[in-house]
A and B are shown apart, each in its own frame.
Chain A
């Protein structure tokens, strides 16, 4: 008997539809009832275990929204923190070099305003 056929019988058994065909099949394949029984008992055990009514705790929805808004606002902030294609919070050596050059340009710009055009690095 193929797996699919066994499953059909299992389904029928689980729905308490025992009939002559089923009885005949069970007689022909004596190991099937035991396999069915094992699966059925697992289902019974798990249903017993999960029998309690699960309610969503009060305030969970608000907590999810609050966390979402925090992340969302943080993301918006990070979007704002880019300058000339570079993250303001970029702490890599290249990033530091970039900002150092920007600082030098600004300082030079203070001495000679025509030379200090920001964002050209």
Chain B
């Protein structure tokens, strides 16, 4: 049988049978989901090296947990939850480490034409990450999947473990997550708020 022709569900079922004895099918599963997992992780930590380490950790957790996963069909949602939670755990650790370090004055970014957006993104990163650490896990997952990743509601339903028919529930949770984000952002991001407001013509921030 050619493994690459298997559907995701079939491949997951095969992995469940084979692990931990053989990793052949699992390696194919890793290849299929590598990009999505890396994007979710990167969406949270926004640092390449950290995202690489965390992605590796995610696939090790999945390797260890997959034999105990009950339904093969619930694999994508389960995988996204592991990815988001592992990334958030790492982010919280980073934030704690940062708060324990002696803070030096940050170098002022030099405004060069065409680079303003990158500079603003870099400034936003620090702040958005602090805000994400203050939100409920479920809210972060909703924001990362919908607003960072643009994933469809059906997929987000599976990750949040909401029945797929109840899309209004998922939409409401995303909406509430955005409002919670905005409230924290206003409280915690005084400096970068003004720049973002000007650049993106935001009136409520």
Which residues of A pack against B, CB within 8 Å?
A: 3-4, 7-8, 10-11, 34-35, 37-39, 41-52, 54, 56-57, 60-61, 63-65, 67-69, 71-72, 75
Contacts and interface: CB of A to CB of B under 8 A. Distances in A.
Interface of B: 20, 23, 26-27, 30-31, 34-35, 38-39, 42-43, 48, 52, 55-56, 59-60, 63, 117, 121, 124-125, 128, 143, 147-149, 168, 171-172, 175, 178-179, 181-182, 185, 196, 199-200, 202-205
A4 B170 CA distance: 10
Given A45-B205, A47-B147, A63 B56 contact: yes
Contacts of A57: 38, 48, 52
Given A57-B48, A64-B34, A75-B20, A49 B121 contact: yes
B178 to A, nearest CB: 4
Contacts of A41: 182, 200, 202-205
Contacts of B171: 7, 10-11
B42 A54 contact: yes
Contacts, number: 114
Nearest to A61: B34
B199 to A, nearest CB: 8
Contacts of B117: 48, 51
Nearest to A75: B20
A68 B24 CA distance: 11
Contacts of A64: 30, 34, 55-56, 59
12 contacts: A7-B171, A7-B175, A46-B148, A48-B200, A54-B39, A54-B42, A56-B38, A57-B38, A60-B55, A68-B23, A71-B60, A72-B63
A72 B18 CA distance: 12
Contact of A49 (B35, B124, B204): B124
A82 to B, nearest CB: 15
Contacts of A42: 147, 178-179, 181-182, 185
B171 to A, nearest CB: 5
Contacts of B125: 49
* Residue of A39, A45, A47, A61 with most partner-chain B CB within 10 A: A45
